[in-house]
Each structure stands twice: as structure tokens, then as C-alpha cells.
Amino acid sequence: MPELTIFEIIKNSLAALTNSKVFILIILEIAILLVSLVFSRLMDRKVVKTTSIVSSLVILGFYITNYVSTLKVFIDNVSTKIMEVLYFPTTLEFIITMIIGIVIMIITLLSKKNGKIMKIINTIVPISISFIFLGIIEYINTNRVAFDEFSTFTNPTLMSMYELAMGLFATWMIGLFLYKVNKMIIKRATLPKMEQDANLVTVHLENLPVEEEEIELPRLKSVAK
């Protein structure tokens, strides 16, 4: 792999982009952005925004249709790499997974917004992954297994522990993602209704009629001479 300077990297990248259809795509997207900025001052902003987004997606769609086969290969490669990480993780990837889990656990415990169940889950999972990692280290040391990828991935016990830890981490991440999305949807659905209910019970005291009450003073008794 040749070593390139920053100037050579920028020069080669710009040369490749200007000679490809991506340059035309960038010009069209910039034109749509400028037109939307101009018309947003003259028309309804929501209509202009929707029209510009649809136009951008249509142009992007026409561009992507020319490279469907390449995109399929790219998606296949990405999915293969993801499966390799899940089923054949390197030591670095495993440690990064542990660090991410511990960071999430600390943030969850320090935050007051998370409930008790969320704190328990976000504490048990990273600790379990850490214990599995310690079990892997102990197994390698006890059974004198060579600490390399070939020896690790050909050992059924080590592979089982690796897959258990990565499967637990993947399930945990998917669960957290679904929880956050569900929470966001519920919040957006209930917030307008709560604001509407709050407006219904709002009482403006300054608009209420004020009745002036007459105060009758006590009468003085006449003293007989």
C-alpha cells in the first residue's frame, strides 16, 4: 500500500469525483438546496421542504439504479463483515465491546432519567460479558491454548463463549434501540394530547369577574346625656 501525502489524497479524490457522475449529483443537490432556500421566502416552507426532499430522493434514486449490482455486492460484503464480527470476533473487537458496555452501564447508573429495570439490565449485561471474557482468558491460560485467531476459532469451547458474549451484546443493543425508538414514538404521540389537556384546564384569573363586597361599618351607639 503506497504512502500518500495529504495533498496527494485530496488531489486524487477530487480528480476521481470530478470525472464521475457523483459530481453531477452533487451539483444537482446543491441546486435543489439553493432553489428551496429562495422559494422558502416566497411560498409555504413546509411545501418547499417536502418538494425539495422528494426531488433529492428522486435524483438519488435515478443515480442508484445505475449501480444496483455494485450495491448488492457492497451490502453482501457489509453483512458478511457483520457476521464475522459476531461469530469470529478478534480480541480488539471483543475488548471494544466490553468498553462500550461498561460506558453504557456507567451512564445509565449516573442518569436519573432511567428507570430501575433499565439500570438493572444495563448493569447485568456488561458485567456478564466481562465475566465471559475472564472465563476465556482463564480457559486459554489453563489449557495452554495459543492466543491467536486460528487456535481460538478452531476450539469449540472458546468459540461457544465468544458467540455467547457477542450474541448477548447484539441482543442487548437491538433491545436498547427498540426501547429508545418506542419511547420516542410514545412521547411524540402523548405530548400533544397532554398539552391539549393542560390547555383545557388552564384558568386565567385576570379574566374572571371580580365582585366588590361592601363592608358595613359598625354603628356607634348614642350616649344618653
What pLDDT, in 10s, does the model give residues 97-106? 888 989 999 9
pLDDT tens by residue, 93-127: 778 888 898 999 998 888 888 888 888 899 999 98
pLDDT on residue 103 = 92
Residue 201's φ and ψ, nearest 5 degrees, are -100, 5
- Please compute the mean of the pLDDT values over residues 154-172 and round it to a whole number: 84
Based on its alpha-carbon atoms, the radius of gyration of the chain, rounded to whole angstroms, reads 33
> Is-above-0.85 flag for pTM?
no
H or E element that contains 139: helix 116-142
What's the rounded mean pLDDT across residues 8-36?
Answer: 79
For 134-150, the pLDDT digits (tens) are 888 888 778 887 766 66
Question: What distance in Å separates the CA atoms of residue 41 and residue 48, rounded to the nearest whole number?
Answer: 10
